[in-house]
Structures are given as structure tokens and as C-alpha cells.
């Protein structure tokens, strides 16, 4: 991770400025689709404007070297990166910062911090890159705790060992995506786990939130990449054995994957790697009918072709991102391999698309995934987090909802959910918004549709309006049969709907596990399950 400071209120580094022409282009889009003629712009907050509460706890002398109560550090660890978080930051609301921020340098430091917090009743929030969009890194507000600590793992950032024969590596959990790939590069291997937050998220964060990465099929989620791990808990260290696979009872790692720091602090993991691809082909396919495109994707998902990219984007979203004409949905379809040409797989996938009315550009370059409509959509996708603060500053609400549903229910789900999303924006803001959908990942039994809305809100009520829309849309998602999240985790924001989705008996079993691993319930209380009264 660079020594440059991150913004305490938004995405990116303090010295990163979105160019005026980019902002102007986005304003034109928002104006066109939301019917706005003039934007009132709220300036971003500055450190001088924020009054931070006094820290309620004092680290022991033995931990002072890795702890800080610096104002910037506390503010920078108050929120994640959702539009809801940014709207509170632009309101200058930093009423719940962590009391202390800790930067452990090794596992011993992590265990010592957990001992202190257990003994002094301090709630701990494990912190990676702060890219959570569901309230996952926000400190607890539970008044039963004496204070809160944000445990930032960014100094545990080394690739410790590489097993080239097995194509695996032992890696510390605080390493950021770009640094991980930089350290792996001399070996010729790659994790190839690229997600939108790649630049500002960590391996431990990916594991803790059960993130989904680059591949549209097969190795989609972090589960598929983890071989074993080490986790620091208030009850001691946990370490699993390293196997390609084991049938020896339930897999203990699955308890920690997706646990969001509620059971322990992931400190390192053995991860599966692969050789860097040398054969790549990508093409954009147009469909006049979104559902015909979905049918083509379903057949591809069940064909055994296993594309690396199979991203179906509806006509509006393609047009909004400069990748389409507004009349056609597009499918960004790509294959890659480190061993053999992929032309035959792409050719067969294109036959399937043609059978469903798709027309394709001719792939003519190995870098075709960076050119044309596919390249335009890719570039806008990567830049999207940088635009969020500028949208909030102008009262533009843009938020996403991702889920997973079986193929037999997809069409009805899509129609009902899209209508519910439009209605929620209209009801809350009093004016029409936008609603769009794309597939991020696909499986033989169903897609992972990812929905986006835009709405124009009241500058003075953005926080409340976000939550009114969030509640309506999340309830619709569960009501129509989707999961509350495919890859954004639960955090504090999704907890209400997770309680409806999970079996009650599992909640009781999870409570028992937490009581054993975290007897004082100091780790991310309120995520997944509430502390006992």
C-alpha cells in the first residue's frame, strides 16, 4: 500500500482529482436521465470542519507503538464506501468514529490487541481497505462496550512463500490487490482475482466478506481460491491444514470465510494461483431482447465452455456507460488460458449466441477486451467508485443491489424487482429515476444479477432517502426469491434481511461458535448476530 493518504470521506487518494471533463460528462448523463437542469454542489468535508469526540479508552503502554487516536485516522476509519456512507460524510456527520485505530505489525500484535479489548470490553472492527458498501467496517454503536477499536491490517502485507509446483502462495491478509500481484509477478503466477475494489481492498477482506472476483464461471468466489488459513481469535490462534481437498468432516475454513470478522481476525492464508494467461479473446454480442440474451447466457453456463467473462448488460446500462446504442443489450464474452488457444470455445459460444438472436463483433485482437464496447464499459466500470462523491455532492443517488436466483425464476424476478426498484425511487424522491441490470457471474443453475438505480434526492435528506429506498428494495429482493447478497457481504446494512434468509437453527449454532471463539463478544458485534443481553 502506498504511503499516500486516502480521503477520509470518499474513494481514492487525497491527491487524486477527477478531471473536470469527466465530471461534466457525468453531469450531462445525470441531467439527461434524471431531468435535472442545474445542480447545486455541496463541497466535500475538510478536517477542520469536523469536531471529533474524545477517545473513551486508552491503550496500555505496551500497545502505544501500534495504536493511534489521531483525528484523521479516526475519521478515515469511521465509514466504508457506500453512497449512504458518503452522504453522511458530506453531511459532516462523523458522530461515531472508532476510539482507537491500531496497526499491528504481526500476529502477536493482533493477539495482544484482542487480549486488551477482551479484558477492557472494547468492541473490535477488523479493517482491510475500507471498501465495504454494506456498513461492514463501521464501528459498533452498542453502548454496552467501553469503546471501539478499528484494527487495520495493512502492515501485514507480504507474500511469505510461493509453492510454484502446486501453484499456491502463503500470503498475509492485509495485502492490497495491486501489491499482491506485484509480489507474485516474478513467479509467473497470479491470483487473478480482480474486482471493482481491487485497488483498495485486501486479501483478508475478500475472504472475510466472501467476495467474488474476476471469473464469471467456475472460480467465481473467494471460497474457490482459499486452501487454508490462519486466524487470530480472542481464544487463541486457529490454523487449518493445507490440502487440495479433504473429506474429513465439515470444512472448518468455511466457518471463517464470509464471517466478516465476527469470529476472528484473518492474518494469513494459502491461496490457489494460476499461470498468467497468454491466450485471450473477447467479443461483444448485441441482443435486441434482454431475455434472449439471458437465455443465451444460460445455455453457455450449462455448456462446459466456462468463459472467464460473460457479462450481460441491459440496453440502458450499456448506453449510460457509453458501450451501447440504447436499443440493444450487450454481452461481453471472453475466454482466456495459459495453456492453449481459446478460439474454438469462443466460436462455440458465439454459435449459441446466434441461436438466440445475438450478433457479434469479430474478435481480431488478443487485447479485444480493452477495445470497443467491451473496453468502454470496462473503463467506466473501473472509474465508477471515483464518481460517487461527485454524485452525492450534487444530490444524485446511485446505489446497487446484487443477488442470485435460479434460472427458472429469473425472468419473473427481474421484471418484478425492476418495477419495485423504480417504484421505490419514485415514491421516496417524488420523481422518476433509472433502473438497470447486468450479470456479474453465472452458474449452471442461475445468474447473479446486479441492479443499479439512479435518483435525484433532497440534499438535506439524502441519508434518510437512501435508507427508505434501501429498505423497500431489499424487502422486494427477498420477497421475490433472491438472496440479499451475492458478493457484497452483510455488514450492518443487510442484517435485517439476512435474519429472514438464514435458518434459525443455524443462528443458534453460530452463536455457540462465537461464544467459544470470542467469549466476550468483542468482534464486530451486531454483524450476523447480536450480543446476548
Cα–Cα distance between 78 and 9 in angstroms, integer? 9
Grid cell, residue 40, equals 447545486
Q: Is 245 exposed, middle or buried (0-12, 13-18, 19+ CB in 10 A)?
A: exposed
Q: What is the per-residue pLDDT across 192-240, written as a single tens digit (0 to 9) for each?
A: 999 999 999 999 999 999 999 989 999 999 999 999 999 999 999 999 9
Known binding positions: 126-132, 260-266, 388
| pTM, full prediction | 0.96
Binding region for FAD: 126-132, 260-266
DSSP state, residue 13: B
Percent of the chain with pLDDT over 90: 93
The one catalytic residue among 450, 453, 456, 498: 450
**Which has the higher per-residue pLDDT, 361 or 47?**
47
Instruction: List the grid coordinates of 138.
Output: 463501521
Give 115's contacts (C-beta < 8 A, 6+ positions apart): 234
Handedness of CA 483, 488, 494, 498 (dihedral sign): positive
User: Which residues 6+ apart lie within 8 Å of 147 measured at CB?
Assistant: 55, 56, 57, 99, 100, 120, 122, 123
Question: Per-residue pLDDT for 365 more than 60?
Answer: no
What is the overall mean pLDDT for the chain? Answer: 95
E strands, 422-495, are: 434-443, 446-456
Binding residue ranges for substrate: 388
386 is catalytic: no
Helices (H) and strands (E) in the chain, counts: 15, 18
The whole-angstrom separation of Cα 270 and Cα 97 is 33
How many angstroms separate the CA atoms of 392 and 45, rounded? 12
User: What are the backbone angles phi and psi of residue 365, rounded to the nearest 5°?
Assistant: -155, 150
Given a cut of 50, is residue 364 above it in pLDDT? no
Residue 1 reports pLDDT greater than 60: no
Could you report the per-residue pLDDT of 324-358, keeping only the tens digit for each?
999 999 999 999 999 999 999 999 999 999 999 99
Q: Does residue 517 carry a pLDDT above 60? A: yes
Give the whole-angstrom CA distance, residue 272 versus residue 281.
24
Amino acid at each position: 500500500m502506498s504511503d499516500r493518504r486516502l480521503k477520509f470521506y470518499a474513494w481514492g487518494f487525497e491527491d487524486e482529482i477527477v478531471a473536470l471533463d469527466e465530471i461534466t460528462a457525468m453531469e450531462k448523463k445525470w441531467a439527461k436521465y434524471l431531468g435535472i437542469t442545474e445542480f447545486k454542489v455541496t463541497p466535500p468535508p475538510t478536517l477542520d470542519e469536523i469536531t471529533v469526540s474524545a477517545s473513551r479508552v486508552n491503550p496500555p503502554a505496551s500497545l502505544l507503538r501500534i495504536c493511534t487516536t489521531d483525528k484523521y485516522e479516526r475519521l478515515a476509519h469511521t465509514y466504508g464506501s457506500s453512497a449512504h456512507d458518503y452522504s453522511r460524510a458530506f453531511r459532516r456527520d462523523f458522530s461515531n468514529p472508532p476510539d482507537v485505530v491500531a496497526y499491528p505489525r504481526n500476529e502477536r500484535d493482533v493477539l495482544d490487541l484482542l487480549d486488551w479489548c477482551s479484558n477492557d470490553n472494547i468492541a473490535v472492527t477488523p479493517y482491510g481497505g475500507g471498501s465495504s458498501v454494506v456498513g461492514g467496517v463501521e464501528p459498533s454503536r452498542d453502548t454496552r462496550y467501553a469503546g471501539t477499536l478499528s484494527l487495520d491490517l495493512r502492515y501485514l502485507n507480504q507474500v511469505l512463500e510461493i509453492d510454484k509446483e502446486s501453484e499456491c502462495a502463503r500470503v498475509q491478509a492485509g495485502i492490497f490487490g495491486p501489491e499482491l500481484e506485484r509480489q507474485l509477478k516474478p513467479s509467473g503466477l497470479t491470483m487473478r482475482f480482480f474486482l471493482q475494489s481491487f485497488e483498495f481492498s485486501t486479501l483478508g477482506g475478500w475472504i472475510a466478506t466472501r467476495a467474488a472476483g474476476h471469473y464469471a464461471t467456475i472460480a467465481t468466489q473467494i471460497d474457490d481460491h482459499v486452501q487454508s488459513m490462519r486466524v487470530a481469535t480472542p481464544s487463541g490462534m486457529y490454523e487449518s491444514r493445507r490440502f487440495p481437498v479433504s473429506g474429513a468432516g465439515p470444512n472448518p475454513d468455511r466457518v471463517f470465510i464470509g464471517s466478516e470478522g465476527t469470529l476472528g481476525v484473518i492474518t494469513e492464508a494459502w491461496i490457489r494461483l494460476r499461470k498468467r494467461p497468454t491466450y485471450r479473446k473477447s467479443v461483444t454480442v448485441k441482443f435486441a431482447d434482454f431475455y434472449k440474451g439471458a437465455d443465451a447466457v444460460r445455455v453457455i453456463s450449462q455448456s462446459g465452455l466456462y468463459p472467464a467473462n460473460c457479462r450481460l448488460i441491459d440496453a440502458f446500462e450499456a448506453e449510460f456507460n457509453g458501450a451501447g446504442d440504447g436499443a440493444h443489450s450487450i454481452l461481453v464474452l471472453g475466454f482466456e488460458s495459459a495453456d492453449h488457444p481459446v478460439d474454438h470455445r469462443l466460436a462455440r459460444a458465439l454459435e449459441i449466441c446466434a441461436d438466440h438472436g445475438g450478433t457479434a463483433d469479430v474478435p481480431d485482437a488478443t487485447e479485444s477486451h480493452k477495445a470497443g464496447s467491451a473496453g468502454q464499459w470496462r473503463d467506466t466500470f473501473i472509474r465508477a467508485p471515483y464518481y460517487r462523491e461527485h454524485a452525492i455532492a450534487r444530490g444524485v443517488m446511485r446505489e446497487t443491489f446484487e443477488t442470485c436466483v435460479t434460472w427458472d425464476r429469473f425472468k419473473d424476478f427481474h421484471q418484478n424487482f425492476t418495477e419495485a426498484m423504480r417504484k421505490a425511487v419514485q415514491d421516496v424522491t417524488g420523481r422518476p429515476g433509472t433502473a438497470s441490470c447486468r450479470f456479474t457471474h453465472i452458474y449452471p443453475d442461475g445468474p447473479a444479477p446486479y441492479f443499479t438505480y439512479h435518483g435525484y434526492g433532497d440534499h438535506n435528506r439524502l441519508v434518510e432517502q437512501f435508507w427508505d429506498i434501501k429498505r423497500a428494495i431489499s424487502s422486494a429482493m427477498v420477497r421475490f426469491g433472491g438472496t440479499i447478497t451475492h458478493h457484497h457481504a452483510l455488514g450492518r446494512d443487510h442484517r435485517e434481511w439476512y435474519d429472514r434468509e438464514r435458518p434459525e437453527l443455524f443462528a443458534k449454532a453460530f452463536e455457540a461458535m462465537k461464544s467459544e471463539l470470542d467469549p466476550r463478544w468483542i468482534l464486530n458485534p451486531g454483524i450476523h448476530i447480536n450480543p446476548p443481553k
